[in-house]
Amino acid sequence: MRQLLVLTGSDLLQRARDTSLFIFALVVPLALMSVFNLVFGSIEQLELEPVTVAVSAPADDDMAGVLVEVVRGLKGQAGLDVTVDEVDAGTARDRIDDGDAALALLVPDGFGQAARMGEPTSVEALRGDEAGIEADVVLSVVDGVLEQIGAGAVTARAGLAEGVPPQELADLVGAATSGGPAYTLEQGRASDEQLDYGSSLVAGQAGLFLLFTVGFGVSGLLLERENGTLARLRSMPIPGWVVVASKALVSFVLGVVATAVLLTVGGWLFGAEFGSLPAVAVLVMCASAAATSVMFLIVRVARTSEQAGIATSIVALVLGIGGGAFFPVSATGSLSALLDLNPVSALLRGLGTTSGGGGLGDIGVPVLVMLGFAVVMASVSRLVPDRGVLA
């Protein structure tokens, strides 16, 4: 054990003086996060512009009046600044053509009576050329109101078909349009393994560059063989497994430290919260173990440090992009199951769970995926003929 700790401490001191380690493990990913923050940092802070809605509705139609009041009531809701101008149909069209209004709603005469009797009716919506997302929000609300009115129309039509007296239809329509949903929503403690954009980007970059970082520890075996240090170590009374284990421990420690720093600093840049510290620590350690196991497979087949560097880059990019380091990757069938076994994907799912309030008991699946990946890669590395450092 003492030999293992001495070799590990010596390697860590050497890596602490390695400028390239800091560049790949910290500087490059933090620089990328900063760039992404500048470009996409405000994507979730959308500022809505004031929107003017020209409405033409019959003055004596109470149901049309309800529609107008709903649109007017959007002012001040969720940052919306809606101005409703009640005009005639011709003026409403002119205001759209002139660009004075982003949206025009044309409610026909007899709209309310037709809706109550279950007769077909419609509201014409005109959208200006320069209308933005604000108009889409208003249209979505209008669609919701019309769907509710449509439910009343369906009820009225069904009532007439069943012979319900016309004077009783009003009560049926009111019950159909004013009732709430037949379900209730309750917020859970843990999330559905989904991170918001900023948190997903931070976690993805941390997982991607984790694969680069752990490569520095394991590739040290190849460098020591090239400069003759490994031969001197093997001539000493030190078991061969101790030398290999020290490199694994160095890679593991480097991966844990670098990933922790990236999650902390990246979370500060994007305002991301990853939840329970013990749960996040377990996820980071499991991800580092999985990444280290891949590097040991590479070091058994790579003959030189250059080959190991190229192989590390290929593996890191494939696993990182496939795991959602830059953007979510969706698939179906067997490909979806294969992507779920990606340690980067498992890290993101685990952090999504913890960010939603999950604890150690909620991250069992991601942890098992990463540890299983590490066991499989370590086993494969023992079966692959050694063409590399210890051949």
Domain ranges (residues) in the chain: 51-178, 192-383
- CB contact at 8 A, 354 and 287: no
In angstroms, the CA 272 to CA 320 distance is 20
**Residue 299 half-sphere exposure, CB side, CA atoms within 13 Å?**
27
In angstroms, the CA 244 to CA 235 distance is 15
User: Which region, left, alpha or beta, applies to residue 226 given φ > 0 means left and ψ of -120 to 50 means alpha?
Assistant: alpha
- Burial class (CB within 10 angstroms; exposed 0-12, middle 13-18, buried 19+) of 302: buried
**Does the pLDDT at position 202 exceed 80?**
yes
CA distances from 75 to 67, 84, 109, 193 (A): 14, 9, 26, 35
Mean pLDDT of the chain: 75
The pLDDT of residue 185: 43
Q: Which residues of 207-233 are buried (b: 16+ CB within 10 A; e: fewer)?
A: bbbbbbbbbbbbbbbbbbbeeeebeeb
Mean pLDDT of the 338-346 span: 82
Between 101 and 37, name the one with better pLDDT.
101
Name 298's Cβ contacts closer than 8 Å, sequence gap at least 6: 215, 218, 308, 311, 312, 315
Q: What is the largest CA-CA distance in the chain?
A: 103
The pLDDT of residue 286: 93
The pLDDT of residue 47: 65
Instruction: For residue 301, name the pLDDT band (cuts at 50, 70, 90).
Output: confident
Mean pLDDT of the 311-335 span: 76
**Does the pLDDT at position 285 exceed 90?**
yes
Between 62 and 365, name the one with better pLDDT.
365
- CB contact at 8 A, 256 and 245: no
CATH class of 51-178: alpha beta
What are the φ and ψ backbone dihedral angles of 83, each rounded to 5 degrees?
Answer: -115, 125
- CB contact at 8 A, 266 and 27: no
- Burial class (CB within 10 angstroms; exposed 0-12, middle 13-18, buried 19+) of 390: middle
User: Which region, left, alpha or beta, applies to residue 236 given φ > 0 means left and ψ of -120 to 50 means alpha?
Assistant: beta
